[in-house]
Amino acid sequence: MGIRYTKDMTPFDMTKSPSKQYFFLMPLIWLAALIDTKRLGLKMDKSGIKGLKPPYLVIATHQGPADYSGTPLALFPHRGIYVSDMEGFMYYGKWLYRGLGCIGKRRFVSDITVVKNMKHALEMKQPVVVYPESRHSNVGTTAYIPKNLGKLCKFMDVPVVIFTLYGSYLANPFWDELNTRKVPLEGKIYKLFDKKQVREKSAEGIQEAVEKALAYNEYKYQNDRKIKITEPKRAEGLHKPLYICRKCGTRYKMRSYGSTLRCSACGKEFLLREDGFLEDKGTGENLMIPDWYEWERGMEIDSANLLISMNKFKRSFPVTIEALPNHKGFVKLGEGVLALDENEFTVMYGSEILHFPHKTRESVQTEYDYRGKKGMGIVLSTKDCCYYLYSKAEDFNPTQLQFVGEWLYESK
């Protein structure tokens, strides 16, 4: 298991029907999940699905990597089938990943084959799990939720269940995911609608209810539970999502070390306290990380609006490109250019030009340091291939491209 490389660009066969989780793997899956979550003192509230039998659709939040262990325990003793990114097939191997009950999908790409495979899995009397955010949370709050979940629930025609694992982001924040903090986990799984309600309610009504149920704020959870995160290096990596200085407004000059976030342009420093608040070391003002993050989003939207009105909205970055077409591994495509304008992302390498119109993807997959080996990048996908784009340019930041990509999608 791990990162592998190949030269085979044959697309993965998405049409193959999913299989049930291999029964002989289930004891190992549940045991591994118990071991992984025991160290963080997982508490699981399953009272909301008492007596519920498959098939049903589980719509889950995706705070962090502990979700992969929490979900099988939430479904126990039932097996589950999971809609998962193609990367998992490469990392674990096709045979094992199918045995874990996974349906392949490329993030932020509409594909009717995935919907058909989900329907097939439900017809096999299995719970089907989908993480609609399609990535781990950047700063502990709900990411973009697709607007077709209500229609999806109507089409599946089964009970709808919500699962949330509180503390998953705090234990492994996306900007420093390889280092685990000692944070207690709390899982909650409950039935949002039974089958009769799914049939009676409108798609719009279901969408609204699902979005409300998926809302979370990990820092509110930390504050409510009075959780202290005492790791001395707890702020390292935070400059990746918080890349604009709150004092001087300079982009790309934020740095982090130990428990401190610092702007190298103006010298302003912020302490990430044990209770999760950012404290201005000069004024003592307390800031919330999600508030800073949303302030940045507003800054980027205002800037993009202005530049578009002046016909000056164009960016480009040198990138290293790796393709993931199938389960066999990544294909090294070499050096190239990632360009952005108000209509699309464009990827250019050799004699190839790939177009990714904003109107076709609701968000952009961010990577802050892929598996601790690649550095910052984004992923743009077609139905046949995922393109991992890494850049060391000083003005390259995945969070910024995500903000702009989401806004341009909604404005098209």
Binned average pLDDT, 10 residues per bin, the chain of 412 residues: 88 88 92 91 96 97 95 95 92 89 92 94 96 96 96 98 98 95 96 98 98 98 97 97 97 98 98 98 96 98 94 96 95 97 97 96 94 89 96 96 96 82
d(CA 396, CA 411): 23
Residue 14's identity, in one-letter code, is M
Specify whether the CB–CB gap between 129 and 71 falls below 8 A.
yes
pLDDT at 374: 82
CA 219 to chain CA centroid, nearest Å: 17
- Tokens representing residue 166 in the block: 């509180």
| CA dihedral of residues 95, 100, 106, 111 (deg, nearest 10) | 100
Of 306, 309, 296, the C-alpha closest to 241 is 296
- Tokens representing residue 130 in the block: 């989908």
Residue 135's identity, in one-letter code, is R
Specify whether the CB–CB gap between 398 and 317 falls below 8 A.
no
Residue ranges, comma separated, of all CATH 2.30.29.30 domains in the chain are 315-411
pLDDT tens digits, 135-174:
999 999 999 999 999 999 999 999 999 999 999 999 999 9
Of 163, 180, 107, the C-alpha closest to 364 is 107
pTM recorded for the entire structure: 0.95
CA-derived radius of gyration, the chain: 21
pLDDT at 60: 98
- Ranges of H-type helices in 131-251: 149-156, 168-171, 195-200, 203-213, 218-225
The crossing angle, in degrees rounded to 10, of helices 26-38 and 67-75 is 120
Q: Which residues contact 125 (CB under 8 A, 6 or more apart)?
A: 54, 55
Q: Which CATH class is domain 315-411?
A: mainly beta
**SS3 assignment, position 391:** coil
Of 347, 327, 342, the C-alpha closest to 388 is 347
d(CA 26, CA 44): 19
Q: Is 233 exposed, middle or buried (0-12, 13-18, 19+ CB in 10 A)?
A: middle
pLDDT at 1: 64
d(CA 390, CA 308): 26
- Tokens representing residue 56 in the block: 């049903």
pLDDT tens digits, 204-242:
999 999 999 999 999 999 999 999 999 999 999 999 999
